[in-house]
Amino acid sequence: MPNLNDPRIPVLLFGLTTGIALSAVVQYLYQTYQTQKTITEAQSEVPQDELDSIAPSTAAEATIDRIRKEFYIPAARLQNMLKAFVKDMQRGLKQDGAIMKMIPSYVTRRASGSETGTYLALDLGGTNFRVCQVTLEGAGKVRTKQRKFVVSQELQKGTGTALFDFLAECVEKFLEESGIGKDTRMHLGFTFSFPVMQQAVNKGVLMSWTKGFTASNVVNEDVVSLLQAAFKRKNMNIKVAALVNDTVGTLASHAYVDPATVAGIILGTGTNAAYVEKIDQIPKWKGARPASGEMIVNMEWGNWGADRIPLPSTHYDNKLDRHSPNTGQQLYEKMISGMYLGEITRYVLLDLIATGELLRGQEVPELKKQYSFDTANMSRIERDYTKDLSDTRLLLEELYGITTSTLADREIVKHVCQFVGTRAARLAAVGIAGIVTKINKLDGCTIAIDGSVYEHYQHFGNRVRDALRELLGMCSDSIVLAQARDGSGQGAALIAALAES
Ligand code: BGC
């Protein structure tokens, strides 16, 4: 036992504790230095793009989940929408002024394939104006030659006279190039893809503009007279023999090759459908009973839901609508078509930046410009299967100069596109199921579909199919969704030929 009274013990104890404390301090300082060194080294050695690839955090996942819920339409809701859609079709067939206009097209016959002759066809419905020469050779054969012209924003929003003069000028150029004299008598089918109250096969009054057009002095006017007058100003010897909607043209031209075709649908800049209806099912039709007992009806389905029931609109949709030139109209179209899908996505992204959930809240001035995010970008982003979404990074950089997006940011952007695009396809399926249910063709038929969204948005078609299955079960398998391309001009020529005979 050591002697506790030994005077050297306190000195010994003091030395011992000081030594321990000192070595602890040294060890702590050394460890801190090491840790700091690792962090600094890590920061200087890890390249920027690896930092960018930080996986989505729980916060990003929560954001994605929230947006998913905002845009998801459950199966039960789809079913209710389908019922409401069919009811609205019936309302429109009964009387004018309904939400879905259900306009009788005056087209009561389908082409037999034996029609012959050369016709001009014009197609105005968006940024591109097409002029075609369509030669019907009989036996179902058709030859076409066409040229596209761009309709500038100034023309779309200027005066009606300037717009129709431009159309006549394009036709003049086309005839010149084709070696057809200006005074040659030609018959023409005019595809005019806006809501027109048809008054004859070659007469119809524009009810309202859609898709951003606002040209003055055209609403409430007969667009055939306006076109005919523009030809007259240029001394051109052209007779407008038929005025058709693009959906009607698409249906007519596809029925020419597939007689099981019952509807023509456009899923492009705008959206709409036309279908073959029994004349007895159109109580508002007061004209003569056609020999065929049927008529093509231009539904103008884009305006469905204009009473705000029962569309699943979000606050992004409402904002888009408030800032559009036709507020309160075309609400279904504004949730489905190419003109608007990019714009909805843009509003979601802006919102997520504002809440700090995207790009750590960094402002992107370019993204604030209306319609600066094209729907084609959504399709491109959704097709980005690279591990670090590098194509999306490139696109964000190209479009908006964003160089600091993390993988989590890009994941969010991709999901937003997916949710907005999926909702659009599911909504379009409601319309298709509505037509098939209304005309009782659940046992099989063909639906011809044209338009950039359907053709180029890679997942769109499959999503429509999936939703159709949810809505109609096994019956959906017997519905053929046929891709139609540029059929509306040809259809207009066919209808002009039918009108002539
Ligand atoms: C128009 C329809 C047209 C559709 C597709 C809509 O905005 O109202 O008449 O068929 O776009 O082009």
Q: Is the pLDDT of residue 99 over 60?
A: yes
Pocket of ligand 1 (CB under 6 A): 125, 193-195, 210-211, 245-247, 266, 268, 270-272, 300, 302, 333
Which pair of structure tokens corresponds to residue 22? 């000192």
Q: What is the mean pLDDT of residues 361-381?
A: 96
Q: What is the mean pLDDT of residues 8-26?
A: 47
pLDDT score for 113 = 79
pLDDT score for 50 = 55
Name the pLDDT band for 307 (thresholds 50, 70, 90).
Answer: confident
Lowest mean pLDDT among 45-49, 365-369, 492-496: 45-49
**How many Å apart are CA 307 and CA 427, to the nearest integer?**
16
Q: What is the mean pLDDT of residues 215-236?
A: 97
Name the pLDDT band for 365 (thresholds 50, 70, 90).
Answer: very high
Do 244 and 190 meet the contact criterion of CB atoms below 8 Å apart?
Answer: yes
What is the best residue among 211, 243, 331 to mutate for testing ligand 1's pocket, by most ligand atoms within 8 Å of CB? Answer: 211
Q: What is the mean pLDDT of residues 54-82?
A: 91
Name the pLDDT band for 49 (thresholds 50, 70, 90).
Answer: low
pLDDT score for 18 = 47
Q: What is the mean pLDDT of residues 276-302?
A: 97
Q: What is the mean pLDDT of residues 415-424?
A: 98
Question: Tell me, what amino acid is at 350?
Answer: L
Q: Is the pLDDT of residue 272 over 60?
A: yes
| Phi, psi at 479, each rounded to 5° | -95, 120
pLDDT score for 308 = 62
pLDDT score for 52 = 56
**How many Å apart are CA 129 and CA 225, to the nearest integer?**
19
Name the pLDDT band for 11 (thresholds 50, 70, 90).
Answer: very low
Higher pLDDT, 182 or 13: 182
Name the pLDDT band for 478 (thresholds 50, 70, 90).
Answer: very high
Q: Is the pLDDT of residue 22 over 70?
A: no
- Given the CA of residue 274, which atom of ligand 1 is nearest to it? 10
**How many Å apart are CA 243 and CA 246, to the nearest integer?**
10
Give me the active site residues, please: 130, 193, 246
Distance, CA 2 to ligand 1 centroid (Å)?
A: 104
**How many Å apart are CA 245 and CA 260, to the nearest integer?**
20
Q: Is the pLDDT of residue 417 over 50?
A: yes
Place of tokens 């962090």: 39
Helix or strand run (H / E) with residue 452:
helix 452-456
Name the pLDDT band for 44 (thresholds 50, 70, 90).
Answer: very low
**How many Å apart are CA 188 and CA 131, to the nearest integer?**
10
Which of 305, 315, 201, 258 is CA-nearest to residue 484? 258
Name the pLDDT band for 485 (thresholds 50, 70, 90).
Answer: confident
- Given the CA of residue 210, which atom of ligand 1 is nearest to it? 7
pLDDT score for 309 = 67
Q: What is the mean pLDDT of residues 55-77?
A: 91
pLDDT score for 328 = 94
Lowest mean pLDDT among 31-35, 313-317, 395-399, 465-469: 31-35
Distance, CA 17 to ligand 1 centroid (Å)?
A: 89
Question: What is the number of H-type helices and E-type strands within the chain?
Answer: 17, 13
Helix or strand run (H / E) with residue 206:
strand 203-206
What is the best residue among 333, 335, 449 to mutate for testing ligand 1's pocket, by most ligand atoms within 8 Å of CB? Answer: 333
pLDDT score for 29 = 43
Place of tokens 């843009």: 346
- Given the CA of residue 270, which atom of ligand 1 is nearest to it? 11
Place of tokens 């659940």: 442
Name the pLDDT band for 39 (thresholds 50, 70, 90).
Answer: very low
**How many Å apart are CA 39 and CA 98, to the nearest integer?**
67
- Given the CA of residue 247, which atom of ligand 1 is nearest to it? 10
Lowest mean pLDDT among 151-155, 181-185, 334-338: 181-185
Phi-psi region of 300 (alpha: psi -120 to 50; beta: other; left: phi over 0): left
Q: Is the pLDDT of residue 267 over 80?
A: yes
CB half-sphere exposure, 478, CA atoms < 13 A: 13
Residue 203 neighbours by CB under 8 Å, 6+ apart: 222, 224, 225, 243
Q: What is the mean pLDDT of residues 62-78?
A: 96
Q: What is the mean pLDDT of residues 421-447?
A: 97
